[in-house]
């Protein structure tokens, strides 16, 4: 009882079953909350710029940008919903009940699956654009990409619902004490999830980008050696420099995704439990990827910088602004 009296409990009236409150010093907690809250606000703002840009300007309604738009929506939800909840879980006891905790686990799982799904779709898009430029305009259309995006969200929701079904059915089973919100995963389930939602997609992504790299290098060599073969000329004509630049840009996007999410999935396999006291860093590193994506667009895409200027200066409110030359 002396030890229990010395610590501050989340629910003092539940002495034997209450969790302990976080023990961070007030200064450390304040600095950490300000930093993480700032990242959350920046993530929301930057991805909102992407959403408005691609949705508003007609020139940006391309298959590749539709994928970036949907990815921005998931990143926007990370900054708006997941980051604030994770900040609260780190700073204080969980007081919102089991239902909200289960909803948080479900939404988080859906968004993680959607993110990796979109990275795969982006890789497929670049593979077809670079390796089969003759077929790209007819095979990869806006309507087909929209259908693929909808299926990605639907499959992610169904998979995540099955993945967290035990937590949804018995939310209290995963709690070791009152005042915490955790997603408990056994080792086998966690390993299977890593294979299905990370290892397999990443393998596909790496293979596709290796093939894109080989084709890009062969085309560059053909251009330098001035090869006059008809098939090569057709390929070089249809595979525009803009497509190759987009492949490089989206390649950076994929690499950043892997850097941010590898520790997250390694943690799932090694620990199999996401709690308020452990795993916070790897979770926020994964969420931080949602803040980096629009930064990558800003660095490599002139259309994004031009669109932001139109949005900030309110030029998009003018009649016919949707048809402005933004490229």
Q: What is the CATH classification number for the domain harbouring 285?
A: 1.20.1070.10
The whole-number pLDDT of residue 289 equals 93
Lowest pLDDT segment from 52-56, 193-197, 222-226: 222-226
The whole-number pLDDT of residue 312 equals 92
d(CA 112, CA 67): 15
Q: Is the pLDDT of residue 236 over 50?
A: no
Residue 2 belongs to a domain: no
- pLDDT tens readout for residues 253-284: 888 988 998 888 887 777 654 443 456 788 88
Residue 323 DSSP SS3: helix
Task: Using alpha carbons, select from 155, 143, 85 the residue that is nearest to residue 118.
Answer: 155
- pLDDT tens readout for residues 54-111: 999 999 999 999 999 999 999 999 999 999 988 888 778 888 888 888 888 889 889 9
Residue 41 belongs to a domain: yes
Residue with the two structure tokens 């604030």: 84
Backbone angles phi, psi at 22, to 5 degrees: -55, 145
Question: How many alpha carbons fall within 13 Å on the CB side of residue 10?
Answer: 20
Question: How many alpha carbons fall within 13 Å on the CB side of residue 2?
Answer: 0
The CA distances from residue 251 to 1, 51, 161, 181, 184, in Å, are 57, 21, 30, 36, 33
Average pLDDT for residues 189-201, to the nearest whole number?
Answer: 84
CA angle, 184 then 186 then 191, to 5°? 115
The whole-number pLDDT of residue 146 equals 95
**Residues sharing a CB contact under 8 Å with residue 160, sequence separation 6 or more, in sequence order:** 106, 109, 110, 113
Residue 209 belongs to a domain: yes
- Say how many domains are in the chain: 1
Residue 6 belongs to a domain: no
**The overall pTM is greater than 0.75:** yes
Residue 205 belongs to a domain: yes
Residue 277 belongs to a domain: yes
Q: List the beta bridge partners of residue 86.
A: none
The whole-number pLDDT of residue 225 equals 64
- pLDDT tens readout for residues 102-160: 888 889 889 989 999 999 999 899 889 888 888 888 889 999 999 999 999 999 999 98
Q: Which structural domain range is residue 213 located in?
A: 24-323
| Three-class HEC string of 272-307 | CEECCCCCHHHHHHHHHHHHHHHHHHHHHCHHHHHH
Residue with the two structure tokens 């959350």: 40
Share of residues in the chain with pLDDT > 90 (%): 29
Share of residues in the chain with pLDDT > 70 (%): 80
Q: Is the pLDDT of residue 198 over 80?
A: yes
Residue 243 belongs to a domain: yes
Residue 311 belongs to a domain: yes
d(CA 288, CA 112): 12
Average pLDDT for residues 245-254, to the nearest whole number?
Answer: 78
Indicate the pLDDT class of residue 297, thresholds 50, 70 and 90.
Answer: confident
Backbone angles phi, psi at 185, to 5 degrees: -130, 130
The whole-number pLDDT of residue 233 equals 47
| Three-class HEC string of 212-242 | HHHHHHHHHHHHHHCCCCHHHHHHHHHCCHH
The stretches of the chain forming alpha helices (DSSP H) are: 2-6, 26-56, 63-77, 83-91, 97-131, 136-139, 142-163, 165-169, 187-194, 200-225, 230-238, 241-271, 280-300, 302-312
The residue with greater pLDDT, 162 or 238, is 162
């Amino acid at each position: 009882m002396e030890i229990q009296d010395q610590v501050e409990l989340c629910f003092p009236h539940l002495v034997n079953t209450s969790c302990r409150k976080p023990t961070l010093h007030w200064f450390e907690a304040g600095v950490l909350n300000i930093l993480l809250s700032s990242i959350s606000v920046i993530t929301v703002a930057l991805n909102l710029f992407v959403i408005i840009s691609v949705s508003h300007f007609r020139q940006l309604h391309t298959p590749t940008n539709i994928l970036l738009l949907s990815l921005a929506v998931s990143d926007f939800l990370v900054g708006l919903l997941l980051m604030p909840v994770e900040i609260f879980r780190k700073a204080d006891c969980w007081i919102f009940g089991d239902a909200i905790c289960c909803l948080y686990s479900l939404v988080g799982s859906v968004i993680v699956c959607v993110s990796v799904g979109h990275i795969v779709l982006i890789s497929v898009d670049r593979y077809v654009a670079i390796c089969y430029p003759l077929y790209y305009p007819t095979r990869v259309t806006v309507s087909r990409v929209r259908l693929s995006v909808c299926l990605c969200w639907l499959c992610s929701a169904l998979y995540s619902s099955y993945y967290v079904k035990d937590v949804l059915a018995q939310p209290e089973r995963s709690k070791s004490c009152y005042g915490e919100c955790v997603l408990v995963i056994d080792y086998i389930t966690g390993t299977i999830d890593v294979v299905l939602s990370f290892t397999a997609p990443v393998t596909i992504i790496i293979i596709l980008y290796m093939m894109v790299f080989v084709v890009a290098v062969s085309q560059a060599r053909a251009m330098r050696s001035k090869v006059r073969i008809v098939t090569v000329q057709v390929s070089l004509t249809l595979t525009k420099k803009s497509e190759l630049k987009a492949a490089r840009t989206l390649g950076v996007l994929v690499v950043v995704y892997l850097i941010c999410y590898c520790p997250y999935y390694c943690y799932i396999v090694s620990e199999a439990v996401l709690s308020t006291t452990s795993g916070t860093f790897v979770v926020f590193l994964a969420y931080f990827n949602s803040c980096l994506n629009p930064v990558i667009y800003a660095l490599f895409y002139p259309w994004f910088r031009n669109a932001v200027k139109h949005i900030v200066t309110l030029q998009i409110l003018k009649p016919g602004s949707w048809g402005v030359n933004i490229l």
